Amino acid sequence: MKVLLVCTGNTCRSPMAEAMLAKAVTEAGLKDVQVSSAGIGAWEGAAASEGALLVMLERGFDLSSHRAHQLTREMVDASDLILAMGRPQLARIRELGGAGRAHLLGEFAGRSPAGGEIRDPYGTDLDSYRETFRELNEILPGIVRRLGGGR
């Protein structure tokens, strides 16, 4: 199964979620799940934002090799499940043909529609990135369960 996580610039939320979900599916023994990320307005090849890099390092994740990717129709077509950080990303995924496989990340994890979006920390302080990490960490077990990880 190919899971694609999508945010705006592919430098904050989606690379954070990608690293965290990849670790979680490995720990859950889900060997057939591949996790990747992209952005609807990404600057191809850009590094992870400084805030994302630092907060993830605080928590044992290394995003130094991450490079941003612009979301394409080919990526959408190649993905079995596409999880968007917000409604604008979900709309773009649907425009690219992914409607039946695309969901808001929070809703897919079991949150109500009102709590389905993950707030963008880009351009804010480290505490906002820490809050994004906390929020992702809270909902990822629900995603792993839906992928077959049973925890």
Just list the catalytic residues.
7, 13, 120
- What CA–CA distances, in Å, run from 146 to 45, 46, 101, 114, 126? 31, 31, 14, 20, 30
- Three-state DSSP state, 125: coil
Closest CA to 36 of 52, 15, 53: 15
> Under a CB-based contact definition with an 8 Å cutoff, are residues 126 and 132 in contact?
no
Q: How far apart are CA 143 and CA 108, in angstroms?
A: 7
Which residues sit opposite 36 in a β-bridge? 4
